[in-house]
Amino acid sequence: MSGRGRSPNWQAWLDAWDRQQEGFNPQRERRFDAMFDLLEASVGRRFAALDLGAGPGSLSVRLLRRFPRATSVAVDYDPVTRRIGREALGTVGGRLTWWDAKLGTPGWTEALPRRRFDAAVSTTALHWLRGSGVRQLYRDLAGLVRSGGIFLNGDRLAPQRPSSTWERLDRNVGAVRRRGRSRADLWKGWSEWWRRAAREPALRAEYRERERRAAQHPTGPSPSLETHRAALRRAGFRDVEVVWQDLDDRILYARRP
């Protein structure tokens, strides 16, 4: 997405990110809209949001577009996606702050540019954490989200023991929506995006740093829906509910009392 010696077209990088993410989740825009309706109904139209695992800012930019008086702090520890987001979107008139931190690790909140948020939001990111990371994250959020503020997580949140019917339906509906493409094809789109990023001269330093950090990535299965629910309750959140659902794609809501 850049010619030799030319500065990259950062918006094209962001658009390509959105396309490959939509491949995995054709309901992605509907899920964003549902989250914004929930936000507006809970905290109004003027609020400070914390975007957890923001990547290149797909959630934050849509949120700031819909709510012109809102602000967002976009946290991610991947230097490549953060750089693309920063270059493509900038600060949206001072309303968007990019932040490098590793969620779920001790001390990640210490230097955040603000100490109180009306809402913590996330899409397609927290499945990267493991059980202890999720518990640490929610304990920290309990100190960051103001009383009456909310948490919203849109992600694939599978139950611990799905029935065989559920698993079959989830698999078959996924196949219908891919319209002939296999799941392997979707992963090819993801890998191809990252292969291009690895070849982009303007991203060389960020890519090298990404590789160094990737070595510390946790392995093992993603936490179940039940793990998320229990960790939120234990951290002091209340009204923990699935408020939107498309098979295993869910929005989990919680409120700070």
Ligand X SMILES: C[S@@+](CC[C@H](N)C(=O)[O-])C[C@H]1O[C@@H](n2cnc3c(N)ncnc32)[C@H](O)[C@@H]1O
Q: Is 131 in the site for ligand X (CB under 6 A)?
A: no
**Residue 153 near ligand X by CB under 6 A:** no
- Least Å distance, CB 21 to ligand X, is 5
Give, in degrees to the nearest 5, the angle at Cα 212 between 211 and 213: 90
Least Cβ distance, residue 121 to ligand X (angstroms): 9
User: In terms of CB distance, is 129 or 150 closer to ligand X?
Assistant: 129
Total chain residues near ligand X (CB under 6 A): 19
* Closer residue to ligand X, CB minimum distance, 187 or 239: 187
- DSSP letter (8 states) at residue 102: -
Whose Cβ is closer to ligand X: residue 33's or residue 239's? 33
- Which residue in 21, 71, 72, 222 binds ligand X (CB under 6 A)? 21
In whole angstroms, give the CA distance from residue 50 to residue 121: 6
Render 197-253 in DSSP notation, one character per residue: HHH-GGGHHHHHHHHHHHTT---SPPPPHHHHHHHHHHTT-EEEEEEEEETTEEEEE
Closer to ligand X by CB, 47 or 98: give it.
98
Write down the H helix ranges in 25-57: 28-43
Alpha helices in 44-106, H assignment, sequence order: 58-66, 79-89
Give the nearest distance from C-beta 165 to ligand X in angstroms.
28
Instruction: Give the range of 74-82, 86-94, 113-121, 234-242 binding ligand X by CB under 6 A.
Output: 74-82
- Shortest distance in whole angstroms from residue 97 CB to ligand X: 15
Q: Kindly give, in sequence order, each residue whose CB lies less than 8 Å from that of residue 164, ignoring residues fewer than 6 positions away.
A: none
Q: Which of residues 78-117 bind ligand X (CB under 6 A)?
A: 78, 81, 102-104
CB count within 10 Å of CB 239 equals 13
Minimum Å gap between C-beta 129 and ligand X is 6
- Half-sphere CA count of 196, side-chain side, radius 13 A: 19
Element (H, E) at 151: strand 145-156
The reply to whether 190 sits near ligand X by the rule CB under 6 A is no
- Which residues contact ligand X (rule: CB under 6 A)? 21, 53-55, 58-59, 75-78, 81, 102-104, 123-125, 128-129
